[in-house]
Amino acid sequence: MENENREFNQAWNSLTTRGEMCGEPLRPFTPVGLRKNVKEEGPLYHGTRAALRPGDLLTPGRASNYGSRQTAKYVYLTARREGAALAAELAAGKGPARVYVVEPLGPIEDDPNVTDRKFPGNPTRSYRTRQPLRVVREDSGWTPLPPEALEKIRERIRQAARKGIEAINE
């Protein structure tokens, strides 16, 4: 567990302070080693701006929060509250950022948008599914990122969109 936390902290710091999303030049992205039918112990989280209640279902088929906002073929989740909080803060919409504990109703697989050569082995514990996620409850115990870090990440997303780089949706 200690090694897993260290790997996650390295990936998280790279993502939110100096790395992929905060200043390094965009680079070609080739996901490797994606696992299907992942078995992940809970809790599992989803970040959004949508106001949801226990029992609500999150399903694929909505506009992505990134790039040209094409229709997402997957719903995303993570075993890391911090990852869900970041997704919530970056999500499109006007409502407050929210993090929910969710239960997948089908198989989950590694999220190829973050599981690549930079984060081998999926230390961010980020996943996606074509099946619904059931909302268990809202989780309010997360800490927002500093506004300057969020703005750096948003700018990197805008740069990627201008270059035609989209979230992997296949």
User: What is the Cα–Cα distance from 43 to 61, expressed in whole angstroms?
Assistant: 24
Per the CB < 8 A criterion, the answer to whether 135 and 45 are in contact is no
The distance from CA 20 to its chain's CA centroid, rounded to whole angstroms, is 14
90: number of Cβ within 10 Å: 18
Highest mean pLDDT among 10-24, 84-98, 120-134: 84-98
Render pLDDT for 7-54 as a digit per residue (tens, 0 to 9): 555 555 555 444 444 444 444 444 455 666 667 777 999 999 999 999
H/E element holding 157? Answer: helix 147-162
Can you give the pLDDT at residue 1? 55
49: number of Cβ within 10 Å: 17
User: What is the Cα–Cα distance from 82 to 140, expressed in whole angstroms?
Assistant: 12
Domains of the chain: residue spans and CATH: 2-27+36-162 (3.20.170.40)
User: What is the Cα–Cα distance from 36 to 22, expressed in whole angstroms?
Assistant: 29
Tell me, what DSSP letter sits at residue 29?
Answer: -
Can you give the pLDDT at residue 95? 92
Can you give the pLDDT at residue 81? 92
Q: State the number of CA atoms in the 13 A half-sphere of 153 facing the CB.
A: 19
Render pLDDT for 130-168 as a digit per residue (tens, 0 to 9): 999 999 999 998 988 888 888 888 888 788 778 777 676
Q: State the number of CA atoms in the 13 A half-sphere of 29 facing the CB.
A: 16
Can you give the pLDDT at residue 72? 84
